[in-house]
Amino acid sequence: MSSDNRFNLDGIGAHKAKIDHANQTQRTTRDHSTQKLIALTNLPWLIALVAWLLWKFL
């Protein structure tokens, strides 16, 4: 970014657009990671439920 464009409104808008794009990318990555973590957290409950159902009905 040139020093002339640094403080005028066009430069500020361009810089804000870059930051918004980076935040959007981070948000989608974090959401994907969070979904995996939730799935791993629910896995022991699912295993316990299946084990209980097998013990109860077999």
- pTM listed for this prediction: 0.42
At 13 the pLDDT is 82
pLDDT at 10 (0 to 100):
74
Q: Retrieve residue 29's tokens.
A: 């990555």
Whole-number Å distance between alpha carbons of 18 and 25: 11
pLDDT for 45 equals 93
Distance, in Å, from the CA atom of 36 to the CA atom of 18, rounded to the nearest integer, reads 28
User: From residue 22, how far is each of 7, 9, 13, 49 by CA, in Å?
Assistant: 21, 20, 14, 41
Q: What is the pLDDT along the chain (58 residues), one digit of tens a residue?
A: 556 666 677 778 888 888 988 888 776 666 777 778 888 888 999 999 999 999 999 8
Evaluate whether 11 touches 1 at the Cβ level (below 8 Å). Answer: yes
